[in-house]
Amino acid sequence: MTQTDLDSRLLHHLGVLYGEQAQELLPRLHQVISHHIELRQGECLKRAKWDEQDIMLITYGDSVQYPGMKPLAGLKQFLDRRLHNVFSMVHILPFFPYSSDDGFSVSDFRSVNPDLGDWDDIAAFKQNFDLMFDLVLNHMSREHLWFVNYVQDASPGRDYVIEVDEEESKNLSMVVRPRASPLLSRVRTPRGNRHVWATFSNDQIDLNYANPEVLLEFIDTLLDYVRHGARAVRLDAVAFLWKELGSSCIHLPQTHEVVKLFRTLMEVLEPGAILLTETNVPHAENIGYFGEGDEADMIYQFSLPPLILHAIHTESTRYLTQWAMHLDQEERPAGCTYLNFTASHDGVGLRPLEGIIPDDEVDELIEEMRSRGAFVSMRANSDGQDRPYELNISYFDAFRHPEEIPDRWHISRFSLSQTMPLALRGIPAVYINALAGTPNDPVGVERTGMTRSINRRKWDGPELENLIDHPLTETGRVFPEYARRLKIRQGIKAFHPEAPQRVLDLPDGIFGIMRTSLDGQQEVLALHNLKSRVMEIDLSEIYGEKVNWFDVLHQEIPDMSADTLRMLPLQAVWLLPEKE
The annotation places the binding site for substrate at 101, 139, 234-236, 345-346, 452
Annotated binding site: 101, 139, 234-236, 345-346, 452
Q: Look at residue 241 and give its three-state secondary structure.
A: coil
Q: 520: exposed, middle or buried (C-beta count within 10 Å: 0-12, 13-18, 19+)?
A: exposed
Backbone angles phi, psi at 476, to 5 degrees: -65, -25
Can you state the angle between helices 474-490 and 410-419, rounded to 10 degrees? 20
What's the CA gap between 109 and 224, in Å, rounded? 10
Write the CA distances from 345 to 49, 340, 392, 429, integer angstroms. Answer: 25, 14, 10, 12
Is 492:516 a contact under the CB 8 Å cutoff? no
Single out the catalytic residue among 206, 236, 397, 551.
236
The answer to whether residue 206 is catalytic is no
Contact 17, 29 (CB under 8 A): no
**What is the distance between the alpha carbons of residues 304 and 320, in angstroms, rounded to a whole number?**
8
Q: What is the CA radius of gyration of the chain?
A: 24
Number of alpha carbons in the 13 Å side-chain half-sphere of residue 33: 19
Cβ proximity of 259 and 293 under 8 Å:
no
* Amino acid in the structure at residue 506: L
CB 66 within 8 A of CB 76: no
Q: Show Cβ contacts of residue 304 under 8 Å, excluding neighbours closer than 6 positions.
A: 340, 341, 342, 421, 424
Nearest CA among 329, 119, 374 for reference residue 229: 119
Active-site residue list: 236
